[in-house]
Structures are given as C-alpha cells and as structure tokens.
Amino acid sequence: MAKADRLERLDTRREELEAEYRETLIAALEKTAGGSWGLFDHRQDKAARAAITPVIETLDEIGQTVDSMREQLGMAPFTLHRDFMADRGPVKSSAVGEPKQAQAWLEKLKASGKYDG
C-alpha cells in the first residue's frame, strides 16, 4: 500500500509540474508572439539569449524532472518539452520568424487542449 501511495503522490506531482511547464511555456510564447525575440534562439543574439536564459533554464529543469518522474511511473517521455527544445536553434534565412513560430505553437497548444505526449 505504501508503494501505491508513493506512486500516486509522484503522479500528482508530475501533473502539477506539467501544468507549470505549460503555463511557463505559454507565457513565453505569448511574449514572443508579441514581438520579443530569443525564445527559439534563431538569431543567436547574445542580449536576446541572456534575457531569455532564465525561462529556458526553468523549462529545461521542469522538463527533465517530469521526464524522470514519467520514467519512474513507466510512462512515455514528456514530448512537449522535447518538441519545444528541438524547435530551438539556428534556422535557414527563409524560415518564419520567432513571433510567427510562437503563434503557431500557441495555436497548436490551444487546439490540443493538453499537449504532453
């Protein structure tokens, strides 16, 4: 019974962290969609990178914690985190800008209701 209780608490905490991750990501996406660059690191501008670093570090820390919890619970990885991190970095000059990319992410998140794998 103690193991079942422990796993239930772990799963509840996982759900809380996933919600916190989504809230943090959505706030950052909304800011980026409004014209603030740096979230996707397209330009690799030092000032933009420095300004967004705390958000990226928070998202990465939460994402890794959630992945660890999911592994303990025998669940699939936290795909929202993996997909977001995979979309960051240099792009071709013909790629859409960060504000448009952020808007597309927001639309995808809102359409799915719960995008966590």
Reading phi first (left if > 0) and then psi (alpha if -120 to 50, else beta), residue 34 is in alpha
- The predicted pLDDT at position 1 comes to 66
- The predicted pLDDT at position 113 comes to 78
- The pLDDT tens digits for 44-98 are 889 989 999 999 999 999 999 999 999 999 999 999 999 999 999 888 888 889 9
Classify residue 67: in a domain, yes or no: yes
- The predicted pLDDT at position 117 comes to 39
Show the domain range for 57. 2-112
**Nearest to residue 17, comparing CAs of 95, 99, 78?**
78
H or E element at residue 67: helix 46-72
> What is the count of structural domains for the chain?
1
Alpha carbon separation from 62 to 1, 42, 47, 57, 110 (Å, rounded):
28, 23, 24, 9, 21
Classify residue 29: in a domain, yes or no: yes
Classify residue 37: in a domain, yes or no: yes
Note whether 68 and 6 are within 8 A (CB): no
Classify residue 66: in a domain, yes or no: yes
Ranges of beta strands (E only) in 1-112 are: none
0.85 exceeded by the pTM? Answer: yes
Classify residue 117: in a domain, yes or no: no
Terminal C-alpha separation, the chain: 28
